[in-house]
Amino acid sequence: MLDAFDRKILGALVEDAGLSYARIGERAGLSAPAVFERVKRLRSAGVIESVTARLDGESVGKPLLAFVHVDTTGWGKSERLMRMGEFPEVEEMHSVAGDTGMILKVRTQGPQALEHLLLQLYVIPGVTASRSYVVLSTYLDRPVQADVTLDWPKHPLPKE
């Protein structure tokens, strides 16, 4: 589905979407219009979902990052729970397999704002518990990368 040209173009755009098509073309071995055509195709195919500015949480007034595990009775995707996404502080919501049902990534002004968010959570019918993991340091935070580690063992049988 994606050839080597596409991978190089995507790699460049993830690194810096402000690069000119000509410059990306140098990196990928294509002319600017060729890059343009491929980017247009990758966009409409949904490979590129969007092009956005990444902001510094602290600078925009949200220095506190936390992952919140939410336990629910029944199954997770309630109307009320989904509405937590209306808070700009909530960046991610995933249902997961494991000892919790839902993981939220939230970025808030501080502990009080987090508490308010948790209060909103406990008002929702079916929410039985939550565990918050407050981030102390972020060592890595980057977008989906275009490349993949190639040489995974096909059948990684652990040696005894």
Which residues of this protein are in contact with DNA, per CB under 7 A?
5, 20-23, 25, 29-34, 36-38
Cβ pair 72, 102 in contact under 8 A: yes
Q: Does residue 3 belong to the site contacting a second copy (CB under 8 A)?
A: no
Q: Which among DNA, a second copy, none contacts residue 119 (Cβ within 5 to 8 A by kind)?
A: a second copy
Tokens representing 74 are 């029944």
Q: Is 63 exposed, middle or buried (0-12, 13-18, 19+ CB in 10 A)?
A: middle
Q: Which among a second copy, DNA, none contacts residue 44 (Cβ within 5 to 8 A by kind)?
A: none
User: CA-CA distance, 37 to 32, in Å (whole number)?
Assistant: 9
Q: Which among DNA, a second copy, none contacts residue 55 (Cβ within 5 to 8 A by kind)?
A: a second copy
Tokens representing 34 are 């060729």
Q: Which of residues 38-67 bind a second copy (CB under 8 A)?
A: 45-57, 59-62, 65, 67
